[in-house]
Amino acid sequence: MKVTLLDTGAGNLHSLGRALEACGATVALETDPHRCLHVQALVLPGVGAFTPAAERLATARSELSLALQEGLPCLAICLGLQLLLTSSEEGPGEGLSVVPGRVERLRVRRVPHMGWNAIEGEDSLLAESGLATAYYAHSYVCAPTDASTVRAVSQHQQVRIPALVRSARTVGVQFHPEKSGLAGRRFLAQVLKELEQ
């Protein structure tokens, strides 16, 4: 399967690309969001800030949003998941609104939420990969307006964090599967298998 990894100006592209290749994918790095509209599968990577990443998507925002809503297969990780929403408290800029809602600052004593955490949910990707704990590194959390898009959560202090979100053929995760050990790699492999169908 050919996967297009969109460079949003920051992020862990190298480690994520290697993890996807280890799962059998051919990875192409792309900097132009217009060239991501008709790919086999798109990956929006994690790490970085909302505003510069949203600015990178701005020229193709409406077309990319429509493509995702119409079924373009996509995996969105951490910041990538946050870009699927409408806006963010982190700063100005418009998200893709594939998942209507707002990204909010984690209102807890200790920020960022960094390290391993348990995941609770019934999503088939979790069951088939055996992923029960995953690695997180974030200070903001998604708040979708439609709670049914949230398929799994993690608890951090008093906040329940949407860990896995679905919309059309888009899978968004707040955790980093590429940093989540063997089960994280199995999760990535299951996502690729699902997106390929």
Question: Could you read off the pLDDT of 52-101 as tens digits, one per residue?
Answer: 999 999 999 999 999 999 999 999 999 999 999 999 999 999 999 999 99
* Mean pLDDT of all residues belonging to the chain: 96
Neighbours of 136 (CB within 10 A): 24
User: Domain total for the chain?
Assistant: 1
Active site (annotated) includes residue 176: yes
Taking alpha carbons only, the member of 192, 131, 121 closest to residue 162 is: 121
Residue pair 28/3 in contact (Cβ under 8 Å)? The answer is: yes
**For residue 157, what pLDDT band results from cuts at 50, 70 and 90?**
very high
In this structure, what is the dihedral angle of CA atoms 147, 64, 43, 52, given to the nearest 10 degrees?
Answer: -90
Q: Which of 36, 78, 90, 142 is catalytic?
A: 78
Q: Which of 74, 90, 142, 178 is catalytic?
A: 178
pLDDT digit string, tens, across residues 39-65: 999 999 988 899 999 999 999 999 999
**90: which residues sit within 8 A by CB, 6+ positions away?**
49, 50, 51, 82, 103, 105, 139, 140
Taking alpha carbons only, the member of 65, 59, 63, 105 closest to residue 83 is: 65
Q: Which domain holds residue 84?
A: 2-196
Whichever domain contains 183, its CATH number is 3.40.50.880
Q: Compute the average pLDDT of residues 23-44.
A: 96
Dist CA 40 CA 71 (whole Å): 11
Predicted pLDDT at 9:
79
Overall residue count recorded for the chain in this entry? 197
Q: Which of 113, 138, 156, 176 is catalytic?
A: 176
Predicted pLDDT at 46:
85
Active site (annotated) includes residue 38: no
Residue 163, pLDDT above cutoff 70: yes
Active site (annotated) includes residue 156: no
Cα of first residue to Cα of last residue in the chain, in angstroms, is: 10
| pTM of the full structure | 0.96
